């Protein structure tokens, strides 16, 4: 039987499969369907300093092979998460706390608050930067470096994962900027900005007009970006973007990922994550792979 354990920034995960932020809440709802302690970790809903209501509805739309969402970071705030969900979630599995802010000070405060309480801090840098006229922190390399540095300075114990936006000039450059800022690990990709239109009403379906595109249709682009980033930095990489089955996860590992996140597939199939974990073990067994970590970065280019 294949050893599915992986080590990420010195933290051992029982397997490399992590439901992605925003698709899994804090894990309680999916735990009614299967025991979430079988997951490598859970990436929480994006946490802000204060509770947020998010955008108007509709917040979701479907297009061929993909979905678009514009939830707008609805969450109960970091304190409510700590009080109500954190100890339960930690009793189940590793916790990747996704951190969202609109100022540098937000990131600093949330990271300081969660330091030592969770297994990873994952910076969501796709949020609009209030000081930069609403442009996301994750767009310009200098902003990526700065927000990473501020977050890193605020923490002593918990490894820092920076989640990159793909809506940028060069994702490798931004990955290097995060590395220079002190990131311990990179996760990518966040969603691609897109639009879906109701032609009868001549209006975008989403109340927010645009939203983040995710799902199987983005996989080839995400996979290329994961490969590029894994070869641009010397940090471990967590890959995501359209993973729906174990074979997809294997491709991301080969491209250079140490672990993977699974998002949209949780909506299509509530048991997507456990099935990917089982499928990974079977694939590795069939291919004589004794430790899943052996797969990372083994892609041979033509």
Which residues form the interface with another protein (CB under 8 A)?
22-25, 28-30, 32-33, 45, 53-54, 57-62, 65-67, 69, 71, 74-75, 205, 215-216, 264-271
Which tokens go with 82? Answer: 């700590």
Instruction: Name which of 52 and 152 has its Cβ closer to another protein.
Output: 52
Minimum Å gap between C-beta 127 and another protein is 16
Instruction: Name which of 254 and 260 has its Cβ closer to another protein.
Output: 260
Instruction: Name which of 216 and 226 has its Cβ closer to another protein.
Output: 216
In this structure, the strands spanning 120-124 and 160-163 are: parallel
Beta-strand runs (E) in the chain: 6-8, 11-13, 17-19, 41-43, 60-63, 66-69, 94-100, 120-124, 160-163, 185-188, 192-194, 197-198, 203-204, 211-214, 237-240, 259-262
Active-site residue flag, 127 = yes
Please tell me whether the peptide bond between 58 and the residue prior to it is cis, using omega within 30 degrees of 0: yes
Which tokens go with 127? Answer: 């949020």
Q: In what order do the strands lie in the sheet with 66-69?
A: 60-63, 66-69, 211-214, 192-194
CA distances (Å), 171 to each of 18, 105, 138, 233, 270, in order? 22, 25, 10, 11, 31
Minimum Å gap between C-beta 44 and another protein is 11
Minimum Å gap between C-beta 267 and another protein is 5
Please pick, among 111, 127, 273, 284, the residue that the annotation labels catalytic: 127
Instruction: Name which of 36 and 185 has its Cβ closer to another protein.
Output: 36
Minimum Å gap between C-beta 244 and another protein is 9
The number of C-alpha atoms within 13 Å of 169 and in the hemisphere containing its C-beta is 7
| Active site positions, annotated | 127
């Amino acid at each position: 039987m294949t050893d599915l354990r992986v080590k990420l920034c010195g933290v051992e995960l029982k397997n490399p499969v992590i439901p992605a932020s925003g698709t899994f809440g804090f894990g309680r709802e999916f735990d009614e369907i299967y025991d979430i302690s079988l997951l490598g970790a859970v990436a929480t809903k994006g946490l802000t300093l204060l509770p947020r209501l998010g955008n108007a509805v509709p917040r979701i739309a479907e297009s061929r092979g993909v979905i678009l969402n514009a939830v707008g970071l609805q969450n109960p705030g970091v304190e409510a998460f700590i009080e109500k969900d954190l100890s339960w979630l930690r009793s189940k599995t590793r916790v990747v706390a996704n951190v969202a802010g609109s100022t540098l000070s937000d990131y600093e405060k949330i990271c300081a608050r969660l330091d030592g309480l969770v297994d990873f801090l994952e910076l969501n840098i796709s949020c609009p930067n209030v000081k930069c006229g609403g442009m996301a922190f994750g767009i310009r390399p200098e902003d990526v470096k700065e927000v990473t540095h501020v977050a890193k300075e605020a923490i002593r114990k918990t490894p820092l994962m920076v989640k990159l936006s793909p809506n940028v000039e060069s994702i490798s450059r931004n990955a290097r900027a995060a590395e220079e800022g002190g990131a311990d690990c990179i996760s990518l990709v966040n969603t691609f900005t897109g639009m879906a239109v109701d032609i009868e009403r001549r209006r975008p379906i989403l109340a927010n007009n645009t939203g983040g595109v995710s799902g199987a249709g983005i996989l080839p682009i995400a996979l290329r970006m994961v490969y590029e980033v894994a070869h641009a930095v010397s940090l471990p990489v967590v890959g995501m973007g359209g993973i729906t089955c174990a074979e997809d996860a294997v491709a991301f590992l080969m491209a250079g990922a140490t672990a993977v996140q699974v998002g949209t597939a949780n909506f299509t199939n509530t048991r997507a994550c456990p099935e990917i974990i089982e499928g990974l073990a079977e694939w590795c067994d069939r291919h004589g792979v004794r430790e899943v970590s052996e797969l990372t970065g083994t892609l041979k280019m033509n």
